[in-house]
Amino acid sequence: MNQAPKPIIQLMGITKQFPGVLANDQINLNIYSGEILALLGENGAGKTTLMNVLAGLYRPNSGRIIINGKEAAFSSPKNAIDHGIGMVHQHFMLVESLSVTENIILSLEKEGLVLPTREVAENIRALSEQYHLKVDSNAAIWQLSVGEQQRVEIMRLLYRGADILILDEPTAVLTPDEAKDLGRILRRMANEGKAIIIITHKLNEVTAFSDRVCVLRSGKAVFTCLTKDTNKKELAQEMVGREVLFQLKKSKCSPGSAVLSVENLQASNDKGLPALRDVSFRVCSGEILGIAGVAGNGQRELAEVLAGLRPASGGRVLVNGEEITNTSPINVINAGVSHVPGDRIGVGLASNLPVSDNLIMKAYRQPPITQGPVVKKKNILAFAKNLIAQFQIKTPSQETPVRLLSGGNQQRLILAREITASQGLIITVYPSRGLDVGATESVRKTLIEQRDIGRAILLISEDLDEIRQLSDRIMVMYEGRVMGILNAEGASIDTIGMMMAGQETKETKENAR
């Protein structure tokens, strides 16, 4: 680490007030060249807000930004970029149909009739070599994987001469390998003298990537130190302000009869290409089957076929002995399948509708919520109130639109609904993605409770820690195939990793059935 004596940027007493929320409260923070700083905190701690202030998107209510000893006031992101500050947002801001070069030209705001395509492509190549940032300048954005798109975003900032790069939750969308690559790229950029800030709520990322860490809690900077002088446990405590259970208590699994049986299932993805090839497995009551795999190896399609949202092109799905292959979603629900979808906002919720309307999405067909064709408002509110209390959903009222809840509370809402409706099988996809430590813990505890009362749980996740922590058995998928099914106890990360990469291991052969 080459910590310069003088910080390149000093944030002094930054305060940002939103209607009803004090997002940043008198935050002081120094940023140094050549250093990777991790900004750690739970969802809603104010990390993104603080960085949006630095990137010129928000204007603070009070506080000063000092760059190289001189005070600066930003009125727009362009202003911040002119000062060398750039940000890669969680949702990429690229034009899908244009090429990498064209996207970068767009951001240069150059005028003139002729596109400087060749010149820009040449510069991209040079930068790409300097920072070991592999980018194909001719490819269209839609052809690139998420990890590659992220590199384009970084390239765009470098191209515009950014010296301070802010990345918001950079690994949230990446596979483990891509995350490792990103780590190398960030280190390389720091070595070249850039200041890097990553916003994260993942402790692993802090220890793996950063030189220094600053923990935000409820809008305040509560803890700053060199990463090597701290540990995960201390950081977690600072984040949530209380002890966190890292080891979930889990009783021994005592599986009952098979609830879900999948036999030689085949299905296609959105592009019509095979996504599931001959997938067979079963989940018994009282067990959690975790499905591990790099994103895009058929997990999403599997969940959708099981939930009745995507047609199967072959094979059979049985729930409690009843065949539900290619039937309608309502029949799948009636067969006892609950589904916590991976896309919370897009599929799991109607975000403009109130909490109560979202809670009854599965239960509204039966009394007491409806009697005949009539819905009973009073009973809906009672039902919602009950679930809100039981699952500790933090909401101002039952009438609050769901979009105003935090991610953790939205997920608790979905879990509350699905668990209440559950009659046997719970399919859960990325159940704790994007949630902070506290919410993750409560979601995982809930799933284990459900296992213990005899539900069969199918857990799809990209988070290997989550899979290993929760699962009783682990199934690994690769290119739409089942690579093998392991007992979670004693399954080594190396073995799972090899299977995720598509390599045959002795376990894959043993478990092939």
Partner 1 sequence: MKIQLIKKTDQKSVISLIIPFVSFLLALLFNAILLIIFGIDPLEAYTVMLKGSLGSSYALSETLVKAIPLMLTGLGVSIAFHMHFWNIGAEGQLAMGGIAAAFVALFLQDTIPPNLLLPAMVIFGGIAGAIWGLIPAALKSTLGVNEILTTLMMNYIAILSVEYLYLGPWRDPQGYGFPGTAKFPESAWLPSLTGRIHYGLIFALVGAVILWLILRFTKLGYEIRLIGENPKAARYSGINIGRNIVIVMLFSGGLAGIAGMAEVSGISRRLYTGLTVGYGYTAIIVAWLANLNPWGVLVVSFLMGALLIGGDQLQVAMQTPAAVAEILQGAILFFMLGGSIFNRYKLKILSGQQNTKAEVEHE
Residue 228: Cβ within 10 Å count = 11
Tell me which of 27, 37, 47, 209 binds partner 1, using CB under 8 A: 47
Minimum CB–partner distance for residue 469 and partner 1 (Å): 27
30 or 370: whose CB is closer to partner 1? 370
Minimum CB–partner distance for residue 317 and partner 1 (Å): 16
Dihedral sign of CA atoms 404, 406, 411, 413 in order: negative
93 or 512: whose CB is closer to partner 1? 93
User: Of 15, 46, 11, nearest to 32 (Cα)?
Assistant: 11
User: Of 172, 167, 52, nearest to 435 (Cα)?
Assistant: 172
Q: Does 18 bind partner 1 (CB under 8 A)?
A: yes
Minimum CB–partner distance for residue 56 and partner 1 (Å): 8
Tell me which of 6, 59, 64, 110 binds partner 1, using CB under 8 A: 59
Question: What spatial distance separates the first Cα and last Cα of the chain, rounded to whole Å?
Answer: 52
Tell me which of 222, 253, 309, 464 binds partner 1, using CB under 8 A: 309
Q: Does 438 bind partner 1 (CB under 8 A)?
A: no
Minimum CB–partner distance for residue 439 and partner 1 (Å): 14
Q: What is the DSSP string of 6-32?
A: S-SEEEEEEEEEETTEEEEEEEEEEE-
**Burial of residue 129, with CB atoms counted within 10 A of its CB: 0-12 exposed, 13-18 middle, 19 or more buried:** exposed
120 or 415: whose CB is closer to partner 1? 415
123 or 406: whose CB is closer to partner 1? 406
124 or 337: whose CB is closer to partner 1? 337
Residue 328: Cβ within 10 Å count = 11
Interface characters, 313-352, with partner 1 (x: CB under 8 A): ---------------xxx-xxx----x-x----xxxxxxx
Minimum CB–partner distance for residue 120 and partner 1 (Å): 26
Task: List binders of partner 1 among 143-172 (CB under 8 A).
Answer: none
What does the alpha-carbon distance between residue 163 and residue 9 come to, in Å, rounded to a whole number? 11
Position 150, amino acid: Q
Minimum CB–partner distance for residue 195 and partner 1 (Å): 22
What does the alpha-carbon distance between residue 47 and residue 221 come to, in Å, rounded to a whole number? 10
Strand duo 212-217 + 220-226: pairing? antiparallel
**29 CB contacts (<8 Å, ≥6 apart)?**
10, 11, 14, 50, 214, 221, 224
115 or 330: whose CB is closer to partner 1? 330
Position 129, amino acid: E
Q: Does 21 bind partner 1 (CB under 8 A)?
A: yes
Minimum CB–partner distance for residue 373 and partner 1 (Å): 5
Q: Does 231 bind partner 1 (CB under 8 A)?
A: no
Minimum CB–partner distance for residue 42 and partner 1 (Å): 10
Minimum CB–partner distance for residue 76 and partner 1 (Å): 5
Q: Does 225 bind partner 1 (CB under 8 A)?
A: no
User: Of 74, 40, 72, nearest to 55 (Cα)?
Assistant: 74
158 or 239: whose CB is closer to partner 1? 239
Q: Does 19 bind partner 1 (CB under 8 A)?
A: yes
Task: List binders of partner 1 among 72-111 (CB under 8 A).
Answer: 73, 75-77
The residue behind tokens 């190398």 is 184
Tell me which of 72, 98, 222, 353 binds partner 1, using CB under 8 A: 353
Beta strand extents in 141-257 (DSSP E only): 164-168, 195-200, 212-217, 220-226
Q: Does 420 bind partner 1 (CB under 8 A)?
A: no
Q: Does 222 bind partner 1 (CB under 8 A)?
A: no
**70 CB contacts (<8 Å, ≥6 apart)?**
none
Say how far residue 276 (Cα) sits from the centre of its chain.
23
Q: Does 377 bind partner 1 (CB under 8 A)?
A: yes
**Burial of residue 210, with CB atoms counted within 10 A of its CB: 0-12 exposed, 13-18 middle, 19 or more buried:** buried
Long-range contacts, 308-313 (Cβ 8 Å, 24+): 308/332, 308/333, 308/337, 310/267, 311/267, 312/265, 312/266, 312/267, 312/276, 313/266, 313/267, 313/268
99 or 358: whose CB is closer to partner 1? 358
Total number of residues that touch partner 1 (CB under 8 A):
48
Q: Does 362 bind partner 1 (CB under 8 A)?
A: yes
The residue behind tokens 């409690």 is 320
Tell me which of 357, 462, 466, 507 binds partner 1, using CB under 8 A: 357
Q: Does 307 bind partner 1 (CB under 8 A)?
A: yes
The residues binding partner 1 (CB under 8 A) are 18-19, 21, 23, 43-49, 52, 57-59, 73, 75-77, 307, 309, 328-330, 332-334, 339, 341, 346-353, 357, 360-362, 364-365, 370, 373-375, 377
